Amino acid sequence: MDEWDEPEEENVRVYSKDEIVALQQLNAIKYPALSPWKILVLQVLVTLISAAIWSIFGGVIGVSLYTQSAFLGGLISILPTTLFLARLEVAKKSQRLNPERFLAALVSGEFLKIATTLMLFIGIAYFVPGVLWVPLLATYLFALKCVWLAWWLR
């Protein structure tokens, strides 16, 4: 008989409720929770910094098209995130909150975020003449990755 044919017994340890609570407290100290609102603030800061950096490529007087495009890219990330977080806050404050309702709020919030992002991209493509896509997409991606920056900063 081959060693692959024999099923191995798994050693599964069942934790008590007190052990689970102790592990959760230990992990809460070791890995503090990350506020989604802090991520939103980081997105705003990254957008402003990126717009300032892209303004170097524009003209000397006024706000250049590079700056506007970078700002719009950040806005495409900030607005849907704000709507998503607002949807979750409304769900958390509901009197009848249970896991099923919170999951529904999470899914509907994510759908709202995706739909808003698509509408903003399409709206900017149609209604903003001469938008520069490189600064827009670069700032959008930088703002989108603020979760990584927030994890690194904590």
Query: Residue 67: which pLDDT band, with cuts at 50, 70 and 90?
Result: very high
Query: Residue 5: which pLDDT band, with cuts at 50, 70 and 90?
Result: low
Most confident of the ranges 34-48, 51-65, 83-97, 113-127: 113-127
* Nearest in space to 78 (alpha carbons), one of 97, 50, 99: 50
Distance (Å, whole) CA 143 – CA 51? 11
Residue 1 has pLDDT above 60, yes or no: no
- The reported pLDDT for the residue numbered 99 is 84
Query: Residue 61: which pLDDT band, with cuts at 50, 70 and 90?
Result: low
User: What Cα–Cα distance (Å) separates residue 37 from each residue in 17, 25, 93, 134, 150?
Assistant: 32, 23, 16, 27, 11
